[in-house]
Chains A and B, each alone.
Chain A
């Protein structure tokens, strides 16, 4: 019976029908919040547990933008019961800080949606008419983002009105701050900082940037070459733009630049030199101090040992 109901709940209407016109923009901050929540609970409790929380954001007509999230307290009595008081206090607090964000839905961790999700969803529906559900699967091994969004729909199944989930498609919306944060996290996670020096990391960023530039320029070059050979019809506009591009090129050849460049180069070298001299002095000082202590101790015990150190 349970299995049947589980299968029904995954009503894969694939965002067609009335709910198809809802577009969802998901901020990466939400995903990071959820994964942090789950990881924290897992670390504290020692084993993985299902976590539940609320999603907030803005809704403009048929497009939802989910910008932030917070946790919800729940108790497990047979089924999961959401603590309404906790939610109300948190809602008030959030309204003070993010005054233009509304409660849009809730999130949980797990694989496919199931009965208990429907149960929780019904409770959430008391707060807000049509919330969306976000499920994050922390155990997937493939590289895609294991986040799926669902909407609820009342459908007639076997003659009775039951609530079913319909999968929604979503897009990731990023602001500059989020992009930098996510980039940083991704790099930390994938790179072993013990192996590569920080110089290497900085240079890697430059490397990527120059590589992208080189690709673009090569593309333009190929296009113009094809134009010359006659494979592509001559486009005056493109030629003109390419011409103006190539004229911008000798950008840094003036003497003023050379002067300033060498001045800065010398300054940086001087600073590095100074820093390494200071470090060497420090090490020397430590060495001499240790040496003196050692010598004194030997001096107290046996003067003839002194000869060995010279």
Chain B
């Protein structure tokens, strides 16, 4: 299964098509391949497939939980449940770490190195930076490594799979954004009206003064 497209949707589509016909052990194989393939960082559609969700009950539950972990969870959760989950290859571990960075960037945009080292169980800064650089090259996150202040500034991260309660949050944030935009528009309009009124007032004032000057000139001429 060669993934030549960089976008994560198209490679996942292949797995989704295959998942329509795979059952049981074949589905597990599919999960393993999906977790291993380099472009795929999101697994929502795969989780929706009936053949895969069947795996939740039965002997292949660990694999289903593993898929869910990759879709929604972090590296720390993996370490907590490491006994009940199947083995991860090195590549899959890296992938999970990348996804964990994405989750961390959801809460704060500047992630200190210490937090990263702790959450990702990295041994030293060099490894950490290599990992982050890999993530950036893979277009998982975009940002800057601030070595002096020891933190990672994230500008953009791909969205992980959205859980059901995420939708509410998304709606709320977008709503707030809309309202803020409207407030700005209102404020700008008020400013525009103010500026125009000021200018009008200024022009009127000037006009009255010039009139007075003219009148005075006339009276002076008539006096002299």
**Residues of A near any B CB (own CB < 8 A):** 195-197, 199-200, 203-204, 206-207, 210-211, 213-214, 217-218, 220-221, 224-225, 227-228, 236-237, 239-251, 254
Contact = CB atoms under 8 A, between A and B. Distances in A.
A210 B44 contact: no
A247 B191 contact: no
A207 B159 contact: no
B42 interface: yes
A208 to B, nearest CB: 10
- Going nearest first, the 7 A-B pairs with the smallest beta carbon separation are A240-B159, A244-B159, A214-B181, A243-B159, A236-B44, A239-B162, A246-B173
B130 interface: no
B79 interface: no
Interface in B106-151: 106, 109-110
Contact of B195 (A199, A213, A245, A251): A199
A209 to B, nearest CB: 10
Interface stretch (B29-37, B55-63, B163-171, B206-214): B163-171
Given A197-B196, A207-B189, A218-B178, A246 B45 contact: no
Given A244-B159, A248-B156, A224 B171 contact: yes
A228 B109 CA distance: 28
Contacts of A217: 174, 177-178, 181
A231 to B, nearest CB: 14
A196 B178 contact: no
B170 A195 contact: no
Given A207-B192, A210-B185, A243 B160 contact: yes
Contact of B188 (A197, A207, A236, A249): A207
Contacts of B77: none
B174 A197 contact: no
B82 interface: no
B198 interface: yes
Per DSSP, are chain A's interface residues mostly helix, strand or loop, or mixed? helix
A166 B133 CA distance: 61
A301 B14 CA distance: 104
B153 to A, nearest CB: 9
Interface of B: 9, 42, 44-45, 48, 105-106, 109-110, 155-162, 166-171, 173-175, 177-178, 181-182, 184-185, 188-189, 191-192, 195-196, 198-200
20 contacts: A195-B196, A195-B199, A199-B191, A207-B189, A214-B181, A214-B182, A217-B174, A217-B181, A220-B174, A221-B175, A221-B178, A227-B167, A236-B44, A236-B48, A236-B162, A239-B159, A240-B160, A242-B159, A242-B170, A250-B109
Given A214-B182, A239-B162, A244-B156, A249 B167 contact: no
B111 to A, nearest CB: 13
B185 A207 contact: yes
B19 to A, nearest CB: 14
Contacts of B184: 210
Contacts of A241: 159
B154 to A, nearest CB: 9
A248 B108 CA distance: 10
B167 A228 contact: yes
Nearest to A248: B156
A255 to B, nearest CB: 11
Given A199-B195, A236-B162, A247 B105 contact: yes
A206 B109 CA distance: 27
Given A228-B167, A239-B159, 10 more contacts: A203-B188, A207-B185, A210-B188, A221-B178, A224-B170, A227-B167, A240-B44, A244-B157, A246-B169, A247-B157
